[in-house]
Structure 1
Amino acid sequence: MNATKPNATKLNEFDLVIVGGGLVGASLACALAESPLRIAMVEAQPFNTEQHPGFDARTVALAAGSQQIFNAMGLWEAIAAQGVTPIRRIHVSDRGHAGSAHLDAAEQGLAAMGYVADIRVLGQVLSRQLEQQANVTLFCPASVKAVQFAPAHAKVVLQHDDALHEITAALVVAADGGNSFIRNDSGIATFTLDYHQSALISNVAVDRPHRNIAYERFTDSGPMALLPTRDEQGNDNTFALVWTLKPEQVEAVQGWDEATFLSQLQQRFGERAGQFTRSSQRHLYPLKFLQTREHVRPRLAVIGNAAHTLHPVAGQGFNLGLRDVAVLSQVLIDALAQNDDPGDLGVLRRYARWRRRDHLQTSLATDALVRVFSNNFLPLAVARNLGLTLLDTLPPLKKQLVRHAMGYVGKLPRLARGLKP
C-alpha cells in the first residue's frame, strides 16, 4: 500500500490520527470507512512484509463476537474466502490430574465458538480495504517523533520520506502495541507484570483429523494450546501450537531438533490429539501482563495492546482489542451525529466507561487462569480439578463461560450485534 494524498481541506489537518497500523489500528480505520472523518494512519513497518504486525506467521483465535464484528464491517467474506477453521469443541484438561471440561458449540446452539485465522490473512484483507477508503491517508513507513496536546487539537510530528512532517487532528488513537510510544511519551502509567514465561509458537501436524477441536492443557510450566487449522493443501490434521515455557526451559527447547521437539511435545501434551508427526519453524515471545492506568485523556485514546496486553492462555488479546474498536468507532460516529468534538474528554469518557467492565473482567480472568493452573500446591490442584468437573456438569455455568469467551460481555456495540457502527 502506498501513501496517498490526504482528503482534507489542508494537507496536514485530520480529524483522527491512528498511530499503529497493525490489526487493531487498521480495524478501527476500516470500521470508520463510511464516516466523514478524515483519518491519518501512521505505521512504522511497510505493509506486505513479514515485519509488519499484520503480516507475521502466527494465527489468532477469533471469538464468535469478533467474527460478527468483521461481518458487520463487510470484511468476513473476504477473510473466510482465504481460509478460516471453525472451533466447534474445546477440551480443557490439567496434566497429571483427572479433571477436565468440554465446551461444545452444538450444545449452545452455535455453528462455532470461534474461528482460527492466519494473522497474515487478516492483515491482507484489512490493508486491501484501507486502499479503497477515500477517507484514509497512510503514512508508511513513518515513525512518530513527538506528540503535543493542545485544548483545540493534537499535533503529531512524523519522520516520513526522509523528512519531518507535522499533522494535526482532533483525536490521536494510540494503537501502537505493548511498547506504545504514544502512551509512554504522554506519561500514562501502566501496571505491568512479568510472567517469567515465554510462548513458543509453531504449527504441528498429527496423524488424524482434528475434528475442529481446540485443546487447552495446563501443565506445571504453564498452559499449552492447540488450535485446529488447515495446511496449504487444505488437510485438517494440523494445529497451531502455543506452548508456555519457563525461562530455564527456553535454551534447551531452542536446541532441539524436530524429532526431539515432537517427542517432548508428545510427552507433555499426551495423545488426546493424536501422534505428532511434523512441525514448522519455532518462534518465542516473552509474556507479560500490562494494563494502563488511564485509557483516555483530552485528544487521546489508547486501545488494543497499547492499553492491555494479556497472557495468551485464553486467546482473548486481539478479541479484546477488536471490541475496543467496535465501541470506539460507535462513540465517535455518535459524537459526530450530535455535533460533538470527537477529541473532547467527555466524549472519550463514554468510551472508557463502556469498556471498563470488559477490560477488568477479561484481564482478571486471564491472569487468574495462569496463576491457578500453574501452581502445584496440592489443595489448589484438587480445587481446580473439582472446578473443571463441576463446569462439565453445570450447563448454566458453562453457558455463561462460553458467552464470555465469545465476547458477549455487557452492553454490546452495534458492530457486535451485526449492525453498522
Structure 2
Amino acid sequence: MTEAGQQFDVAIVGGGMAGASLALMLAHFCPQLSVALLEQRALPDASASVQLPSFDTRATAIAAGSLQLFQQLGLWSALREYCAPIQRIQVSDRGHSFGASLSTHTQQQASFQGMLGAVIENAALGPILHRALADTAVQLLAPARVSRVRMDSAGAHLNWSAAEQGFQYKLTTRLLVIADGVESPLCRQLGIEIDTVKYQQRALVTTVGLQRDHGGVAFERFTALGPMALLPLQQRQGRHRAALVWACPESEAVALFTLSEEERLLRLQENFGWRAGRFERAGALQGYPLSLSLAREQWRRNLVLVGNCAHFLHPVAGQGFNLTLRDCYALAQTLAGDQPAQGSKAELDRLRAYGRCRSFDQQLTVGFSDQIPSLFTSENPFQQVVRQMGLLGLTLVPPLRAEFVSQAAGFGL
C-alpha cells in the first residue's frame, strides 16, 4: 500500500485493457519513469491460470500491427495460446452479389506471422495483461477508488481510498492519464466535454457454435438491420466457435432477448446467411447501446485521456481497441527519453506534439467507423451503388485493397 502523499511521474486511473496496456508500454519504453496504475476493482491473482468457459460473450479483434506491438512487449507467447488467427476477411452486402475477400496471401505486407490479426476473448486478455504488469516496476493500486482530482502547474493531486479499508490516501503525479472508460467520472469532474452521437442501435454480443471449422475467416456482413461481424475463436471442448456481434435496431434487440436459444439461432442465421455454415449453439446474449463519443479535449497540461473516455467507436470495423493501442504507443514514445523540467514549456510542447501526431489517424478511423454503418444500411439507390462500387474496387484494385488492409491492420500510420 502506498503512503499518503507518494509522488509519481505518471499515474493512470483505470486498469482495464487501455490502462493496463499503457502501463506495460511505459514500463517497457520509459523505464526511467515511476508509474502508478489505479483500478477500482480488485485485479486478478497474478499466479492464477486463465479459466475460460466454452461460450463467453465478449472478444476483441487485435490487428496485425497491434500483435506486433504486443510482441515487442514480450506478450505474444502468452497471448498465442488463447488467440484464433484471422487469415482472411470476407466483407459482403446481403442481397447483393459483390463482396470483397482480403487474405494474407495477397496482403503479406499487412500481416503478422501469416495473420491479418487475431481474436482473443476478453476473459483471457485481461488476466494476461495484469500478470505481465506484476513483473514490472509499475505500482499497482487496486482496489483504489479516486474520489477527487485537483490539477495545478505541478501536475495532478489525487485523493483515493482502498475499498476494503476505507482509508483516504493522497497521490501526486506529474502526468495524469485518465483511462476509466465511457462516461468517465474524472472527465466530468474536470469539466471535459464529450460529444456524443447516439445510433439508436444496440450491439448484441454472443458466442455461437459452428457446424464446421471457420478456417481463420472473419466475416463482416452488412444486413438490412445492421452490420454483423463473425469472428473466429479457438475451439473449446471440441466445438468450433465464433464471436458474433450484431449492431441492430433497439426493437430487434428487444425481440431477440425474448426468444429461446433455438429461435434466436434461427433469427441470427436468417440475417447472417450460410457463408460460415450452420449455427449450432448460442451462448448468453448481451446487449450494449451504441454511440459515438469523442472528448473535445484529449490532452491538457499534465493530463491525457486514452481509451473509451477519449473515443468510443461503433464496433463495425473492430478498430476501437486497436486505435487505443496506437494512442498508447505514441504517448509512450513521446514520454521516452529525457524529461523536461516540471511545469516547463517543453513539457507542455511534448503533449502538444502527441496530440498532433495522433490527430490524422483518429480522424480517419473515427470517420470510417461512423460512416460505414449508415452507408450499408441505407435504402437510397445512389448509396447502394456507391457501396457496391466500393466492394468491387476492393476486389479488383490491388493498391486500394492494400491500403485498406494496411490501415485496418494498424500498419497504415
TM-score by length of 1: 0.90
Q: Which residue is 1:150 aligned to?
A: 152
Q: Deviations over 1:111-133 (max 9, x none)?
A: 11100011122111111112122
Q: Deviations over 1:328-367 (max 9, x none)?
A: 111111353x667699321211211111111100000111
- RMSD after superposition: 1.9
Secondary structure at 2:27's aligned position in 1? coil
Q: Which residue is 2:313 aligned to?
A: 310
Name the CA distance, whole Å, in 2 between partners of 1:238 and 1:123: 20
Name the CA distance, whole Å, in 2 between partners of 1:291 and 1:409: 22
Amino acid paired to 2:173: A
Q: Which residue is 2:58 aligned to?
A: 58
Q: Which residue is 1:113 aligned to?
A: 116
Name the CA distance, whole Å, in 2 between partners of 1:401 and 1:269: 23
Shift of 1:183: 1.8
Name the CA distance, whole Å, in 2 between partners of 1:290 and 1:207: 38
Shift of 1:233: 2.8
Q: Deviations over 1:200-228 (max 9, x none)?
A: 11110121111111100111221000001
Query: 1:192·1:291 contact (CA, 8 Å) conserved in 2?
Result: yes
Query: 2:153·2:343 contact (CA, 8 Å) conserved in 1?
Result: no
Count of residue pairs the alignment pairs up: 395
Q: Which residue is 2:49 aligned to?
A: none
Name the CA distance, whole Å, in 2 between partners of 1:244 and 1:57: 15
Amino acid paired to 2:106: E
Amino acid paired to 1:310: L
Change (3 A) 1:273 1:57: closer
Query: 1:335·1:341 contact (CA, 8 Å) conserved in 2?
Result: no
Q: Deviations over 1:164-188 (max 9, x none)?
A: 2111010100111111122221111
* Alignment partner of 2:325 out of 322, 326, 343: 322
Change (3 A) 1:57 1:259: closer
Matches within 5 A, 1:152-301: 152-160=154-162, 161-233=165-237, 235=239, 237-301=240-304
Query: 1:289·1:308 contact (CA, 8 Å) conserved in 2?
Result: yes
Secondary structure at 1:74's aligned position in 2? coil
Query: 1:40·1:138 contact (CA, 8 Å) conserved in 2?
Result: yes
1:386 aligns with 2:380: no
Change (3 A) 1:344 1:182: farther
Q: Which residue is 1:79 aligned to?
A: 79
Change (3 A) 1:314 1:323: same
1:39 aligns with 2:35: yes
Q: Which residue is 2:69 aligned to?
A: 69
Greater CA drift, 184-193 or 340-349 = 340-349
Name the CA distance, whole Å, in 1 between partners of 2:412 and 2:382: 32
Secondary structure at 1:33's aligned position in 2? helix
Query: 1:176·1:306 contact (CA, 8 Å) conserved in 2?
Result: yes
Query: 2:155·2:176 contact (CA, 8 Å) conserved in 1?
Result: no
Unaligned runs of 5+ in 2: 46-51
Unaligned runs of 5+ in 1: 50-54, 411-421
Amino acid paired to 1:178: V
Name the CA distance, whole Å, in 2 between partners of 1:79 and 1:387: 34
Query: 1:340·1:347 contact (CA, 8 Å) conserved in 2?
Result: no
Q: Which residue is 1:102 aligned to?
A: 101
Shift of 1:234: 5.7
Shift of 1:48: 2.8
Q: Deviations over 1:11-67 (max 9, x none)?
A: 621111100000110111111224121212111122239xxxxx9851100000100
Query: 2:62·2:322 contact (CA, 8 Å) conserved in 1?
Result: yes
Query: 2:57·2:283 contact (CA, 8 Å) conserved in 1?
Result: no
* Alignment partner of 1:360 out of 354, 359, 363: 363
1:125 aligns with 2:128: yes
Q: Which residue is 2:48 aligned to?
A: none
